[in-house]
Amino acid sequence: MIRVPSIAASAPYSPAVALGNLVWTSGALPTEQDGTVSDDFRTQVRTALHNLGAFLREAGADWSTVLKINGYVKDIEQLPALNEVYASIVTVHGAPARTTVEVSRFRGRTQVEFDAVAFRRIP
């Protein structure tokens, strides 16, 4: 198993791990590089997906190799807004399987989180 160490995690876990050609990511939050979280839901979706993309790239995968994405939202009524941003980032590379569920609580301002399973091309 390969752990992706180059992205600093805020807790004791790996942002992504790989075993053979498969990659599993931890949850990607909508935290900006300066540590802030926007109050705007669409901005949070965009930022969380940007962070998820960074996890994938560090593990040798990318959006075109994603098999499944799990999305967690604070308010399921925000699903149309999530889908709009998601489509502009993820589905331009194909539409992976996805599950989106409402969760009762996140820490702080967070309203969304994503994790993924992907494969990586090993030469």
Helix/strand/coil percent split, the chain, to 5 = 30, 30, 45
Burial class from Cβ neighbours inside 10 Å (0-12, 13-18, 19+) for residue 114 reads: buried
For residue 58, list its beta bridge partners: none
Three-state secondary structure of 4-18: CCCCCCCCCCCCEEE
Domain count, the chain: 1
Range of the domain at 6: 2-119
* Residuewise pLDDT in 10s, the chain (123 residues): 556 555 555 677 788 999 999 999 999 999 998 889 999 999 999 999 999 999 999 899 999 999 999 999 999 999 999 999 999 999 888 899 999 999 999 999 999 999 999 999 876
Here the CATH number for the domain that contains residue 56 is 3.30.1330.40
- pLDDT given at position 122: 79
